[in-house]
Amino acid sequence: MKKLRNILRALRRHGFGILRIVTDRAICALAARRIKVNRQVTIARAAGRIYRFKTAAAAWDKVRLDRLRSQDLEQMSRALLKTLRYQDTANLVDFATKVGRPTLRLELARTEALWRLKDTAGVEASRERAIALISNPTSAEISLIKNENQVIDLASRLELLWMTAPNIESIKNIANNLPVESAPKRNAFVYWDSGFTNAPRLVKTCVKQMRKIYGEELVELSEETLATYLEPAPQLRRAAQLWPANYSDAIRVGLLARHGGVWLDATVYVSENSVGKYLDSNLFVFQYNGPRIASWFMSAEAGSYQARLLYATMLDYWSRNRKLKNYFLFHDFFEVLYHLDPTFRQEFDASTKLDARPGLIAQKLLWQPHDSESFEAALRVRPIQKLTYKPGKKPHGKGTLFDALKRQA
């Protein structure tokens, strides 16, 4: 039954595009078994479309560059970047430029490659070439491309900027009309769509710890109880059914925009009450580089301009689109709004700045033998630690920190 549900969800997500995905997977499977598949470019294109970048890069290596279209060169540059072949990426774009086939995507790939190679002068020259490839570049486009702190996947965020900019006034109108409920008591919100009774045991442990820290301030939400705190948004219905993580990104800023308080992912382990902390501005988020943020913990004042604009942007996106552009859509929107809206940028620049990475120390310990001192040391560095209940490619074994936390549920 679960497999059937997954198949039906895939059909709803991709429509007839699912046939393309199935075909691409079949091509990659045949290639892996060294069964002849038409041409190497066919393998490369198929592997790139389903994000099997090692397979794609290996196939592109066997193709003559002078026979490739600009679109193929762009796909090749992406595969090379994803497989950490930065110098090869720069060389590829050099070739495209010499033969008169430069594109914005290729130039931005070179920008990222040179940034990875720490070629500061090369990065700045590449940024200028990228801007020159845009007809009448706006200040937001220039600002995004020249952002010194975040150079990864610039083309993707530019596309989102182009999608958002024409609607920014209507988005602001949506934001201005969102209800705000300012109350003396601010809450800590945590959410699990099917309810915490059926949640993974690590999640139960994290929520149990939240109850100790926040007490009555903790509000445990599920899809059934969410409407008590946030009005249902028809625009988000499809995201809720097909992209739960993106839906969760949307409702967290909706809750904070309306009520203020803090949001915690259900896999966050806390050792201090963080309600009202870090609020030099009316929204706080941990950050990686510049406006590239982590969303697993957020703190806000009710009516926060940034939270309202973020929520309105998500509502606008899902009212106009049926598919998720990429998994980190919410984080990309944060960056786009930073470059597009002066007030959003000023408030973020004025906010407390704390690196997200110290909040991931404990996550790296989950697979290691349980050592309470190491875990407590991580909490002393950052009392808000983001864990995960997913084992990934390496299952959690007995005697690990994950095992010990799971037993506390």
313 has pLDDT over 70: yes
276 has pLDDT over 90: no
Q: Residue 99: exposed, middle, or buried by beta-carbon count in 10 A (0-12, 13-18, 19+)?
A: exposed
**Cβ contacts of residue 38 below 8 Å, gap of 6+?**
none
**Cβ contacts of residue 152 below 8 Å, gap of 6+?**
112
Q: Answer yes or no: are the C-beta atoms of 114 and 123 closer than 8 Å.
A: yes
Confidence of residue 8 (pLDDT cuts 50, 70, 90): low
331 has pLDDT over 90: yes
Domains of the chain: 2-152 (1.25.40), 172-358 (3.90.550.20)
Whether the full predicted model's pTM is greater than 0.85, yes or no, is yes
What is the per-residue pLDDT across 188-200, written as a single tens digit (0 to 9) for each?
999 999 999 989 9
Q: How far apart are CA 37 and CA 78, in angstroms?
A: 22
2 has pLDDT over 70: no
Confidence of residue 254 (pLDDT cuts 50, 70, 90): very high
pLDDT at 95: 96
What is the per-residue pLDDT across 71-97, written as a single tens digit (0 to 9) for each?
999 999 999 999 999 999 999 999 999
Q: What is the mean pLDDT of residues 362-369?
A: 94
Half-sphere exposure of 382 (CA within 13 A, CB side): 19
Residue 311, CA distances (Å) to 15, 250, 300 in order: 27, 6, 13
Confidence of residue 341 (pLDDT cuts 50, 70, 90): very high
Q: How far apart are CA 39 and CA 86, in angstroms?
A: 25
Report DSSP state, residue 200.
-
Output the average pLDDT for the chain: 92
